[in-house]
Amino acid sequence: MTLKIYNTLTKQKDVFTPHEEGRVGIYVCGPTVYDHPHIGHAKSYVSFDVVVRYLRYLGYKVRYVQNITDVGHLTDNADAGEDKIEQRAKLEKVEPMELVELYMRSYYEDMDALNNLRPDISPRATGHIPEQIDFVKKLIDKGFAYEANQSVYFDVSKLKDYGKLSGRKLDEQESGSRVEINPEKKHPADFALWKRAEPGHIMKWNSPWGVGFPGWHLECSVMSMKYLGETFDIHGGGIENVFPHHECEVAQSEAANERPFARYWMHNNMVTVNGQKMGKSLGNFVTLKDAFKKYSPLTIRFFVLNTHYSSPIDYSDEALDAADKGIERLHNTIRNLRERLESSKGTKGQEIWKTKLEKYKSAFEEAMNEDFNTAEAMAVLFNLTKEVNSLLNSEEEISKGILSEIDSFYRIYGDNVLGIIPEKTAQYGSNDADAYKMEDNLIKALIDTRNDLRISKNWELADDIRNRLEKRGIIIEDRKGKTIWRKKKFIQ
Over residues 281-291, the pLDDT tens digits come to 566 789 999 99
Over residues 410-465, the pLDDT tens digits come to 999 999 999 999 764 433 333 334 444 566 778 888 888 888 888 888 888 888 88
Over residues 264-274, the pLDDT tens digits come to 999 999 999 87
**Average pLDDT estimate for 96-114:** 97
Q: Which of 351-360, 383-392, 452-461 has the lowest mean pLDDT?
A: 452-461
Question: Which amino acid, residue 277?
Answer: K
Handedness of CA 293, 294, 296, 298 (dihedral sign): negative
Whole-number mean pLDDT of the chain?
A: 89
Q: How many CA atoms, within 13 angstroms, populate the side-chain half-sphere of residue 416? A: 13
The reply to whether 277 sits in an annotated binding site is: no
Distance from C-alpha of 399 to C-alpha of 156, rounded to nearest angstrom: 67
Binning pLDDT at 50, 70 and 90, where does residue 227 land? very high
List of E strands, 310-420? 313-315
pLDDT at 435: 47
Domain ranges of the chain: 4-146+155-168+215-268, 428-492
Cα 116 to the center of its chain, rounded Å: 6
Q: CB neighbours (10 Å) of residue 170? A: 15
pLDDT at 429: 38
Q: CB neighbours (10 Å) of residue 243? A: 15
pLDDT of residue 280 exceeding 90:
no
The reply to whether 280 sits in an annotated binding site is: yes
Over residues 155-187, the pLDDT tens digits come to 999 999 999 999 998 776 644 445 567 889 999
Bridge-based pairing of strands 23-28 and 232-238 is parallel
Please tell me the pTM assigned to this model: 0.86
**Distance (Å) of CA 430 to CA 423, 433, 492:** 11, 6, 5
Distance from C-alpha of 343 to C-alpha of 338, rounded to nearest angstrom: 9
What percent of the chain stands above pLDDT 70? 90
4-146+155-168+215-268: CATH topology: Rossmann fold (3.40.50)
Over residues 318-348, the pLDDT tens digits come to 999 999 999 999 999 998 999 888 877 766 6
The reply to whether 220 sits in an annotated binding site is: yes
Distance from C-alpha of 297 to C-alpha of 255, rounded to nearest angstrom: 42
The reply to whether 249 sits in an annotated binding site is: yes
Report cis status (omega within 30 of 0) of the bond before 244: yes
Can you name the residues that pair with 213 across neighbouring β-strands? 195
